[in-house]
Amino acid sequence: MLSMYDDEESVVSSIRAGARGYVVKRASAGDLLDALRVVARGGSYLSPHVSEQLLARIRRGDADTATRHPLLSQLTPREFQVPGLIVEGKASKEIAVMLDLGVETVRSYRKTMMKKLNVNNVAGLIRVALATGLADKIHQAAPGS
């Protein structure tokens, strides 16, 4: 990932979405070449500036991204199950079958979560789920997983 953003949320969400490297645009040509070589060999790479930020965050003890989104505490246990399935590309009908719910109930959960998390569409819901690690927690809590 080559990005102009160096904030923790952008870095973490990119890595959770599958990026194996993260380089900020202001990095030197040498850093960019190093990143390309490391990732091409199957490794992972973070720009030095980005890795320093993450290390500082870990040292402070606030490494859990999910706790950084204060609105997550408003979600009910059942609401925690829906975003991970949405991130996987499941339709409301599929989610309803998987969770043994009605389709309208799933749609209601989705609308309620969007309102609670202050997002206007499903893309915003997915962004929050990926950025906070909420999607990862869903798989741990979902029935049958």
Predicted confidence at residue 114, as pLDDT, reads 86
Predicted confidence at residue 33, as pLDDT, reads 93
Q: Give the residue, 31 or 80, on which the prediction is more confident.
A: 31
- What fold does the segment set 2-63 form as a domain? Rossmann fold (3.40.50)
Predicted confidence at residue 144, as pLDDT, reads 42
Cβ distance 84 to 135 under 8 Å? yes
Q: Say which amino acid occupies 28.
A: S
Predicted confidence at residue 2, as pLDDT, reads 92
Domain regions of the chain by residue span: 2-63, 67-141
Cβ distance 90 to 81 under 8 Å? no
Residue 141: pLDDT band by 50, 70, 90 thresholds? Answer: very low
CATH 1.10.10.10 fits 67-141, yes or no: yes
Q: Say which amino acid occupies 90.
A: K
Kindly report whether the global pTM for this prediction surpasses the value 0.85: no
Instruction: Provide the 10 A C-beta neighbour count for residue 90.
Output: 17
37 has a pLDDT exceeding 90: yes
